Amino acid sequence: MAKNDAAENAPANAESEESSTAKARTAPAPDDSRKPDSPTDVSKPSWLYIAKKTLHEFTKDQCSDLAAALTYYSVLSLFPALLALVSLLGIFGQAEKTTGALLEIVRGFAPGDTVDAIREPVQQLSSSSTAGLTLVIGILTALWSASGYVGAFARAMNRVYEIDEGRPFIKLRGTVLGVTVVNMLIVVVLAAMLVLTGPVAESVGSAIGLGDAFLTVWNIVKWPVVVVLVVLAIAILYYATPNVKQPKFRWISLGSFIALAIFLLASLGFAFYVANFSSYNKTYGAIGGVIVSLLWLWILNMSLLFGAEFDAEMERGRQLQAGIEAEETIQLPPRDTKKSDKQQANEEDDIRRGRELREQHGDADDELTIQRDRSAPLSGASTMDRT
C-alpha cells in the first residue's frame, strides 16, 4: 500500500520542485506587460515585501557559504586576472605606473595588510617583459583561468533564481568567457581613468592641447563615471550569468548599486577595525595580511550576492504585483534546458533501476518468508507425533 502511495505521489513531488523544464512550460515572458515597468510603479507593500524577502532568501540560500566558495575562486582567479590586466596595460607601456597608482587607490578603502600582501606579486608581474606570441598566449591563458570565478558566480546565481543549470558546456563556457573579457576591458578602462589624475593628467592634457579648465572638469566628472562603470560591471554579472531569461537589460540595476554601497561601507568599517582593534599580525604572524585579504574578498562576495538577491526579489515583487504566482519560486523561463533535461533523464533512470533492485530483493524476501511459513507447521506436527 505504501509502495502504491509513493508511486502516486512521485509525479506531484516532481512537479513541485519546479525544474527548468517545468518553468520553460509555465513561466510567462520576461517582459510580460502586466509587470510594473519602473521602480516608481512598485507599490509600498511590494517594496516592504521585497526588502523582507531579500533578507530571508539571503539566509535561506546560505549566501555566506556561497561567498566563501566565491572567495576561493577569487584567489584562484586573482593573479591570472592581474596577469591579463598588467599584460594589456603593458601593451601601452604603462604597466608599472598604472599598477602602482591602483594599489594606492585600493589602500584608500581596503585594509593596508591587503595591499601589502598583493603589492610584491603585482609589481613582479608589471616589471616582467613579454611580447608577441608569448604575450597573446599569456593573456588567453590568464583569461581562461580568471573565468573560473565567473563560472562559480553563475552557479551561485542559479541558486538565487531557483533554477537548474541547463546550458550545455560549450554555451555556458562561451558565456562565462564573454563576461570575463567584457569585465576585464571595463577594468582596463577604470585603471586608465584612475591613473589619469594629478601630474599624470596634467602631462597628458598638455600633450594633447587641453587646458586647465578641462582638467578641472575631468577631476570632478571622473568619479561618477567610475561608479557607473563599476555598477555596469556588476550588472553584467547579474544579467548574463544565471540560466534565466531576464527582462530587458538595464545598464544600471538597483541591486548593483546596493552591492557597491554595502561593499564600500563594509570595507571602510573593516579597514578601521583592522587598523585599530584587530591583532591579525600578532596572531597569524607573516600570514596576517593574507588572512585580512581573504576576509576582505569574502565581504566583497557577500555584498555582490546580497545585491543579486535584491534584484531577484525585485523581480518576484514585480511578478506578484502583476498577479503572477511567484510566491514559491520566481517565474522566469530558462535560457536552455538541454543539460538539465539530460540530468533529469539520468536521475529518472537511476530511480527506475533502484526500484527494480529493491523489488527484486523484496520478491526474494517474500518467497523466503512463504517457505518458512510453510515449513513451520510441519516441524510442529512432527514434534507432537514424537511426543
**What is the pLDDT at residue 3?**
43
Lowest pLDDT segment from 186-200, 253-267, 361-375 = 361-375
Cα–Cα separations (whole angstroms), residue 386 to 174, 230, 377:
84, 96, 14
Q: Is residue 227 a part of any domain in this protein?
A: yes
> When comparing pLDDT for 115 and 321, which is higher?
321
149 and 192 housed in the same domain: yes
Rounded to 10°, the helix 132-160/63-91 angle is 160
208 and 351 housed in the same domain: no
54 and 200 housed in the same domain: yes
CB neighbour list of residue 79: distance below 8 Å, 6 or more residues apart: 121, 125
Mean pLDDT estimate for the chain: 79
φ, ψ of residue 167 in degrees (nearest 5): -80, 135
Which of 57-66, 71-80, 340-349 is modeled with the greatest confidence?
57-66
141 and 273 housed in the same domain: yes
pLDDT at 57 over 80: yes
Chain centre distance of CA 82 = 20
Structural domain of 360: 337-380
324 and 343 housed in the same domain: no
312 and 375 housed in the same domain: no
Q: How many domains are contained in the chain? A: 2
**What is the pLDDT at residue 359?**
83
CB neighbour list of residue 70: distance below 8 Å, 6 or more residues apart: 149, 152, 153, 156, 301, 304, 305
84 and 125 housed in the same domain: yes
Which of 58-67, 126-135, 141-150, 351-360 is modeled with the greatest confidence?
58-67
- Residue 122 pLDDT class (50, 70, 90 cuts): low
325 and 363 housed in the same domain: no
243 and 114 housed in the same domain: yes
pTM of the model: 0.77
pLDDT at 59 over 90: yes
230 and 363 housed in the same domain: no
Q: Is residue 25 a part of any domain in this protein?
A: no
Q: Is residue 26 a part of any domain in this protein?
A: no
Q: Is residue 119 a part of any domain in this protein?
A: yes
Q: Is residue 186 a part of any domain in this protein?
A: yes
CA nearest to 186, candidates 237, 114, 240, 221:
237
pLDDT at 17 over 50: no
375 and 273 housed in the same domain: no
Q: Is residue 327 a part of any domain in this protein?
A: yes
45 and 136 housed in the same domain: yes
> When comparing pLDDT for 131 and 111, which is higher?
111
Which of the 8 DSSP states describes residue 38? S
